[in-house]
Structure 1
Amino acid sequence: MANNGQTETAALVAILGERAAVNVRLALIADGPQWRLHHGQITLDDNAPLKERAWRYGTGSFLELCLPGTTIAALLKGDEQDVQGFHVVSPHPLSSTASVRRLRGQEEWSRLTTPWPRTEWTINRDTSVSQPSHDLLVGDGPSFLNFDQALSAFLYQRPYDHTTNRTDLWRIIQPQRAGWFQKITIGPDLLTVVVDGEGLDGAVLELSWAADNQARPLDGADTHRFALPGGLAHDSLLILRRKDQWLDWRSFPAPAHGRARDASVIWEQPGPELDLLLANGEGQHLECKREVPEGESRKKMLKTIAAFASQDGGTVLIGVRDDLRVVGLPEGVNVDKQILQVVGMIRDNLEPVPSYETRVIDHDGKTVLAIEVSGGGQMHAYRDGQRAEFYVRVGPNTVLARHHEIAAGFQQAPVATTF
């Protein structure tokens, strides 16, 4: 089964029309006496809890409710419908196809993550249609600075982030709970996985790597263990499948700069992992600091983080000397306060704030703080007073970006659009 493709909109209309009821979230823009649909999010899940909500403002409104499948099918076709006192119209022309994407468990896409795999269909709207105003929203609901902030809070309970904006008119989500990984723990010599699901008969759990693989049939939800005499091999793949169809999967690349982690994987082998990160020394993707820096040294570290974020990511290790000797954070320091200090430094000095993760690593009784910075495909500036400075990484050095490097960085940055 392909992970990406196209589905006819008419097929989705038929699926929705056959359902007695559908949970839906609607974002509407006032358009004279009627309300124009700006974004609709449909969940095809009979077990999903529904919390009915209605935020009503003069220029925009947000509804979460359960509607007959025929009503949602009509809206998807572009037919006008009366919904809870709102005369709702869809912008035209509507696309005849929807993009479909199949996602594994714990995979984030457009600000949404679920423990189980899911299938998502999206139908884009015509970007030439007028967009929401940027006026304050004050009315029968929480107050917001503008429509975009209200939409992000309503859908995701998260602050607005222009880098994740999309142009969906409709987003249809269908959970796939036949089989999924509830929890994965990786130790020095053992991988433990908790498998859950509603349709595991005939499924196979397999751990594969370059030199070999282990596979075992399943007959229901259970905990399974794979022996790792030599540790987890690089580029291993853990997959739950039925015949040639995957139900869920995780891959485990070698430790690398800016590696994103998911909540279902618990690593219990931080020592070997740190050794691998240090194997090649400081360079394009690694910077070491003896302790949380002050003064000019702090500026240098922040410039390096900006450079990592502006390119393809990197890791700053605090508690490691320049000669790669692991000395750990100073004794007696409060690690949580050290993390808050670093988070505050990044928030106050880098624009936009990059995507990063802080982790505490215990290495032979010494505590190391890792700042794993993801490359985001856009330039990030170090703010020195009113001046914004851009940096890149050249080998083990952080240097001011040249004009053509800055221009190239902005050209490849994703275009900001509204929901």
Structure 2
Amino acid sequence: MFSGLRHKKSFLLIRNLIAVEVIAYGLFMLVALSADWAEAYSRFGVSDYLSFTVLEFTSLAMVQIAIVVFVVTRSFREDRDIKEIIRSGEDERLEFKTSLRWDVRRNEISKELERSAMKTVAAFLNSDGGNLVIGVDDEQRAVGLAADINSLNKKSHDGFENHFNNLFISMLGPEFRQYVRLSFHTLDDKSVSLVQVDRAHRPAYLKTEKGEDFFIRTGNATTALKVSQVASYISAQWQ
């Protein structure tokens, strides 16, 4: 599991490096061809000691080194950021879920756990947004996603994200997916998922077997509003 995440992060890191390098080199060549810089450089006295070609390639090398440092540093900072998020503890904009679908106590898939995760996402959509961290327990300890992923047909992070998307679309609707970003991180050598949710521009209802429910965040809890409360809440928040 952890090895798979490292391979994926390494692939993304290399991909980002290549993409940025290509863009940087293209810009460098565009600037280089935009004027006769060699002639302009020859006017300075330093040209007697340092050729323009050496200066040109040295500048390109320095830019490339700076790009590598930036991309690699940013990659490591992402894992530090997840630790900072978790350290703050559950509140109105943060909730932990040990699992997306696997009930460890009963050792089986739980539809209720899936609904609980989507319920939290719905509440964030209807409030001020927030972060749902899957694979972390209430004591802020990393549990990981191994049990969840092993319960899927496609046993990978892509399989986990696909299942999350299917749950989201079936329970909340595809129109709200634009407000949600899912990413994977490592915490204490275990893989966890960070679901970042923005406030939606209109009310989001959670579909159930009996109809639809409306949830909001109240403190560090997810609360279902009564039918008589929903209209006034929507009026105050979106109208």
TM-score bracket for this pair, using the shorter chain length: 0.5 to 0.7
1:396 Cα offset (Å): 0.9
Classify the secondary structure of the residue corresponding to 2:142.
coil
Which runs of 5 or more structure 1 residues have no equivalent in the other structure?
1-181, 185-192, 202-217, 233-264, 412-419
Q: Which residue of 1 aligns with 2:233?
A: 405
1:350 Cα offset (Å): 0.5
1:180-191 equivalent positions in 2, closer than 5 A: 183=20
Q: Which residue of 1 aligns with 2:85?
A: 277
1:103-182 equivalent positions in 2, closer than 5 A: none
Which runs of 5 or more structure 2 residues have no equivalent in the other structure?
1-18, 35-57, 102-109
Classify the secondary structure of the residue corresponding to 2:146.
coil
Q: Which residue of 1 aligns with 2:176?
A: 353
Which is strand-richer, 1 or 2?
Answer: 1
Q: Is the 8 A contact 1:270 1:363 kept in 2?
A: no
Q: Is the 8 A contact 1:393 1:399 kept in 2?
A: yes
1:300 Cα offset (Å): 2.1
> Which of 310, 320, 326 is the aligned partner of 2:142?
326
Q: Which amino acid aligns with 1:338?
A: F
Measured in 1, the distance between the counterparts of 2:84 and 2:170 equals: 32
Classify the secondary structure of the residue corresponding to 1:268.
helix
Classify the secondary structure of the residue corresponding to 2:90.
coil
Q: Does 1:222 align with 2:63?
A: yes
1:296 Cα offset (Å): 2.4
Q: Deviations over 1:260-319 (max 9, x none)?
A: xxxxx9623343111111121011111111111323232222111011112222121111
Q: TM-score, normalised by structure 1?
A: 0.36
Q: Which amino acid aligns with 1:321?
A: D
Measured in 2, the distance between the counterparts of 1:199 and 1:311 equals: 48
Q: Does 1:384 align with 2:204?
A: no
Measured in 1, the distance between the counterparts of 2:238 and 2:214 equals: 11
Classify the secondary structure of the residue corresponding to 1:405.
helix
Q: Is the 8 A contact 2:95 2:133 kept in 1?
A: yes
Classify the secondary structure of the residue corresponding to 1:292.
coil
Residues 324 and 364 from structure 1, CA distance in 2 versus in 1: closer, same or farther, beyond 3 angstroms? closer
Q: Which amino acid aligns with 1:340?
A: N
Measured in 2, the distance between the counterparts of 1:338 and 1:280 equals: 26
Q: Is the 8 A contact 2:176 2:200 kept in 1?
A: no
Q: Does 1:394 align with 2:213?
A: no
RMSD: 3.4
Q: Does 1:336 align with 2:158?
A: yes
Q: Which amino acid aligns with 2:209?
A: G
1:224 Cα offset (Å): 4.7
Q: How many equivalent pairs are there?
A: 172
Q: TM-score, normalised by structure 2?
A: 0.60
Q: Is the 8 A contact 1:312 1:374 kept in 2?
A: yes
Q: Deviations over 1:153-207 (max 9, x none)?
A: xxxxxxxxxxxxxxxxxxxxxxxxxxxxx639xxxxxxxx957364489xxxxxx
Measured in 2, the distance between the counterparts of 1:199 and 1:405 equals: 55
Measured in 1, the distance between the counterparts of 2:80 and 2:68 equals: 17
Q: Is the 8 A contact 2:135 2:145 kept in 1?
A: yes
Measured in 1, the distance between the counterparts of 2:223 and 2:161 equals: 26
1:227 Cα offset (Å): 11
Classify the secondary structure of the residue corresponding to 1:315.
strand
Classify the secondary structure of the residue corresponding to 2:186.
strand
Which is helix-richer, 1 or 2?
Answer: 2
Classify the secondary structure of the residue corresponding to 2:92.
coil
Q: Which amino acid aligns with 2:187?
A: H
Classify the secondary structure of the residue corresponding to 1:339.
helix
Q: Which amino acid aligns with 1:223?
A: Q
Classify the secondary structure of the residue corresponding to 2:203.
coil
Measured in 2, the distance between the counterparts of 1:370 and 1:341 equals: 15
1:363 Cα offset (Å): 2.2
Measured in 2, the distance between the counterparts of 1:400 and 1:325 equals: 28
Measured in 1, the distance between the counterparts of 2:124 and 2:217 equals: 7
Q: Is the 8 A contact 2:126 2:203 kept in 1?
A: yes
Between the two proteins, what is the percent identity of the paired residues? 20
Which structure ranks higher in relative contact order (CA pairs < 8 Å, sequence separation ≥ 6)? 2
Measured in 2, the distance between the counterparts of 1:277 and 1:226 equals: 27
Q: Is the 8 A contact 1:361 1:369 kept in 2?
A: yes
